[in-house]
Amino acid sequence: MNKQIAPSILSADFSRLGEEIKAVERAGADLIHVDVMDGHYVPNITIGPGVVAALRKTTKLPFDVHLMIEDPDRYIDAFVDAGSNILTVHTEAVIHLHRTVHYIKGKGVKAGVSLNPSTPLGSIEEILPDIDLLLIMTVNPGFGGQKFISSMLPKIRKAKEIIQEKGLGLTIEVDGGVTPENIGALAQEGADIFVAGASIFGSPSYIETIKKMKGILAGS
Ligand code: DX5
Ligand code: ZN
């Protein structure tokens, strides 16, 4: 697949979320990454399905919704109804992951599974054929603007190898501390979708930053 940029609105101006989404859409974003945090699974609270539903009207770009919440099964229907296109749950937060993944897919939405930096790939190997997207965290989830954990690079490579060995078509997404400086290395290891919050929304020009990232991806 073509490599894609997914700006994380966690680092956008929350008082102008609709405008911020339109700005990154104009700047060339491929997806909008929405970080949902509950103050339990991660030590931060962000937005819920009501805000996602309101934002749905501001763009045609797919919504890549990253659920960093305890017991996400309780909220899947709400986030599907709000207009999510990809729903990603954390394997560490779900008891019956196979059931959850198939429930999401049964709703006509792509199912993603995310792994924290300390969670081994082996914990999800058996479910790879069932999922659409594997989200490898390159920071500990909870906040934007954290430092990229470079020891995740071999994990991405290993995931890519396993996916190729199994002949699967699923997408690898990386999230946390992604910048124009490390995006090339992430692409080389096999990542397909690059979530970037602070490096886009904290930059003086969204269009220049996304253009720079895409230029690096095109050459990688
Ligand atoms: C971290 C979130 C990320 C975060 C990325 O818990 O899942 O999506 O917003 O932001 P940056 O790119 O600033 O690390
Ligand atoms: Zn995220």
Mean pLDDT of the chain: 98
Of 38, 64, 132, 175, which residue is the catalytic one?
A: 175
Known active-site residue 77: no
Q: Atom 9, ligand 1: which residue's CA is nearest? A: 144
Using CA positions, which residue lies closest to atom 1 of ligand 1? Answer: 141
Query: Is the domain 4-219 a CATH 3.40.50.300 member?
Result: no
The catalytically annotated residue of 35, 64, 132, 192 is 35
Query: pLDDT-derived band of residue 69, with 50, 70 and 90 as boundaries?
Result: very high
**Are residues 41 and 29 in contact, defined by beta-carbon separation less than 8 angstroms?**
no
Distance between Cα 173 and ligand 1 center (Å): 12
Which residue out of 45, 143, 178 has the highest number of ligand 1 atoms within 8 Å of its CB and is therefore the one to mutate?
Answer: 143
Average pLDDT over every residue of 54-66? 98
For the cut 80, the answer to whether the pLDDT of residue 1 exceeds it is no
Atom of ligand 1 nearest to the CA of 10: 9
Per-residue pLDDT band at 220 (split at 50, 70, 90): confident
Ion ligand 2 neighbours (CB, 5 A) are 35, 66, 175
End-to-end distance of the chain based on CA atoms, in angstroms?
Answer: 14
Compute the distance from residue 11 Cα to the ligand 1 centre, in Å: 8
pLDDT digit string, tens, across residues 80-105: 999 999 999 999 999 999 999 999 99
Which tokens go with 175?
A: 């999230």
3-state secondary structure the chain: CCCEEEEEHHHCCHHHHHHHHHHHHHCCCCCEEEEEEECCCCCCECCCHHHHHHHHCCCCCCEEEEEECCCHHHHHHHHHHCCCCEEEEEHHHCCCHHHHHHHHHHCCCEEEEEECCCCCHHHCHHHHHHCCEEEEECCCCCCCCCCCCHHHHHHHHHHHHHHHHCCCCCEEEEECCCCCCCHHHHHHHCCCEEEECHHHHCCCCHHHHHHHHHHHHHHC
Per-residue pLDDT tens digits for 104-120: 999 999 999 999 999 99
Quote the pLDDT of residue 161. 98
Nearest atom in ligand 1 to 198's CA: 13
- Each residue of 149-188: pLDDT tens digit? 999 999 999 999 999 999 999 999 999 999 999 999 999 9
